[in-house]
């Protein structure tokens, strides 16, 4: 019987994750299937229960359930506990479902590849959701000291700042309205919000403070070239597309679920083809060890 995995979110009908993960399973000769499950927030608890009762081996969790899933799990790993966000669930041998978070791997992998020598002391974070929590974990590992958190709704984001400062006491987080940003010579700018996914104009205040940033990383993967990244390129910054984060967090999830090394080239090819609207069936390869 095939092992079953899925991605669950409010609307994952266009997610490229199934193409990427199924390509990895085929290449690694793993008898498994990865599907997508879209569910409204009001039905999340019942749908999650149905999936776990069916013997699902694992799942990826996306907007808006990265925090909402926590009460329904038997436990969390150290990273998910620290940031209180889950993007990957694994079924253990005793049938308990444990929450993990591979998003920090999705951030650190591309960052280290593009700017291995980057010494990040200060950063600007756009957004305060699940991906923003993963960014704080990644920055703590990199030795970042100051993070300016730019949001549209300051009041709703105060809890995020308090929780992240408690989780990472060495870091200072400063909350700022997207309408009133201050140029602090950020080494890195990271967009953890949906900003840019609908092609809306870049906020003028954000556009004003981008010059001087060494690296700009956008978690949005569709469109590939967001207005944020286009503006960053014009200012001479190195840019990282959301596709890279999706790939690296998926590779980490594959390793967690299977105990095998993730076939990066195969996964990258399937992901790129899916985002371009093409179907790409990879060749079956030797089983990884």
Residue 17's CATH number: 3.40.50.10860
Distances (CA, A) of 168 to 142, 207, 289: 12, 29, 36
The domain in which residue 117 lies consists of 104-243
Is residue 254 situated within a structural domain? no
Is residue 35 situated within a structural domain? yes
Is residue 283 situated within a structural domain? no
234 Cβ contact partners less than 8 Å away, ≥ 6 residues apart: none
Give yes or no: residues 20 and 97 share one domain.
Answer: yes
Average pLDDT over residues 95-116: 93
Given this model, what pLDDT does residue 279 score?
A: 54
Given this model, what pLDDT does residue 282 score?
A: 43
pLDDT in tens, 24-60: 999 999 999 999 999 999 999 999 999 999 999 999 9
Is residue 74 situated within a structural domain? yes
Give yes or no: residues 130 and 219 share one domain.
Answer: yes
Average pLDDT over residues 125-148: 96
User: Domain total for the chain?
Assistant: 2
Given this model, what pLDDT does residue 183 score?
A: 64
Could you give the CA distance from residue 113 to residue 98 in angstroms, rounded to a whole number?
30
Give yes or no: residues 134 and 237 share one domain.
Answer: yes
Question: Taking Cα atoms as reference points, which of 262, 135, 242 lies closest to residue 186?
Answer: 135
Give yes or no: residues 17 and 121 share one domain.
Answer: no
Question: Taking Cα atoms as reference points, which of 168, 90, 87 lies closest to residue 129?
Answer: 87
pLDDT in tens, 63-79: 999 999 999 999 999 99
Distances (CA, A) of 129 to 35, 85, 186, 192, 244: 24, 9, 21, 7, 19
Give yes or no: residues 78 and 150 share one domain.
Answer: no
Give yes or no: residues 83 and 111 share one domain.
Answer: no
Give yes or no: residues 45 and 173 share one domain.
Answer: no
Place 280 in a pLDDT band, splitting at 50, 70 and 90: very low
Based on its alpha-carbon atoms, the radius of gyration of the chain, rounded to whole angstroms, reads: 19
pLDDT in tens, 220-269: 999 999 999 999 999 999 999 999 999 999 999 999 999 999 999 999 99
Average pLDDT over residues 93-107: 96
Give yes or no: residues 75 and 91 share one domain.
Answer: yes
Average pLDDT over residues 111-128: 87
Cβ 76 vs Cβ 70: under 8 Å: yes
Give yes or no: residues 205 and 223 share one domain.
Answer: yes
Whole-number percent of the chain with pLDDT over 70 = 94
Is residue 197 situated within a structural domain? yes
Which token pair is 131?
A: 């991906």
As a residue count, the chain comes to 289
**What mean pLDDT value characterizes the chain?**
93
Given this model, what pLDDT does residue 151 score?
A: 96
pLDDT in tens, 179-222: 988 766 688 999 999 999 988 889 999 999 999 899 999 999 99
Give yes or no: residues 188 and 110 share one domain.
Answer: yes
Is residue 285 situated within a structural domain? no
Could you give the CA distance from residue 160 to residue 181 in angstroms, rounded to a whole number?
18
Residue 126: give its domain's CATH number: 3.40.50.720
pLDDT in tens, 171-184: 999 999 999 887 66
Average pLDDT over residues 134-146: 96
| φ, ψ (nearest 5 deg) of residue 2 | -65, 140
* Residues with catalytic roles: 66
Given this model, what pLDDT does residue 120 score?
A: 86
Give yes or no: residues 113 and 239 share one domain.
Answer: yes
Average pLDDT over residues 110-127: 87
Given this model, what pLDDT does residue 154 score?
A: 95
Is residue 96 situated within a structural domain? yes
Give yes or no: residues 226 and 164 share one domain.
Answer: yes
Question: Does the pLDDT of residue 286 top 70, yes or no?
Answer: no
Is residue 134 situated within a structural domain? yes
Given this model, what pLDDT does residue 288 score?
A: 28
pTM value?
0.92
Question: Does the pLDDT of residue 284 top 60, yes or no?
Answer: no
């Amino acid at each position: 019987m095939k092992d079953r995995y899925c991605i669950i979110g409010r609307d994952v009908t266009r997610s490229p994750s199934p193409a990427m993960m199924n390509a990895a399973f085929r290449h690694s000769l793993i008898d498994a299937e990865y599907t997508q499950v879209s569910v409204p927030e009001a039905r999340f608890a019942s749908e999650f229960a149905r999936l776990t009762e069916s013997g699902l081996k694992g799942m990826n969790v996306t907007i808006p359930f990265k925090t909402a899933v926590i009460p329904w799990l038997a436990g969390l790993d150290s990273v998910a506990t620290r940031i209180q966000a889950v993007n990957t669930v694994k079924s253990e041998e005793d049938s308990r479902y444990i929450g993990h978070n591979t998003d920090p791997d999705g951030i650190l992998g591309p960052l280290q590849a593009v700017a291995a020598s980057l010494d990040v002391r200060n950063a600007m974070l756009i957004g305060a959701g699940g991906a923003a929590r993963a960014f704080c974990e990644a920055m703590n590992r990199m030795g970042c000291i100051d993070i300016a958190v730019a949001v549209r709704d300051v009041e709703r984001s105060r809890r995020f700042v308090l929780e992240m400062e408690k989780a990472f006491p060495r870091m200072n987080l400063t909350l700022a309205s997207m309408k009133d940003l201050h140029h602090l010579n950020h080494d890195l700018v990271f967009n953890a919000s949906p900003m840019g996914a609908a092609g809306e104009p870049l906020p003028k205040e954000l556009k004003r403070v981008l010059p001087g940033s060494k690296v700009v990383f956008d978690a949005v993967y569709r469109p590939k070239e967001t207005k944020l990244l286009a503006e960053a390129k014009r200012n001479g910054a190195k840019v990282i597309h959301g596709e890279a984060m999706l790939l690296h967090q998926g590779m980490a999830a594959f390793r967690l679920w299977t105990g095998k090394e993730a076939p990066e080239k195969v996964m990258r090819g399937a992901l790129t083809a899916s985002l371009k609207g093409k179907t790409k069936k990879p060749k079956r390869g030797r089983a990884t060890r």
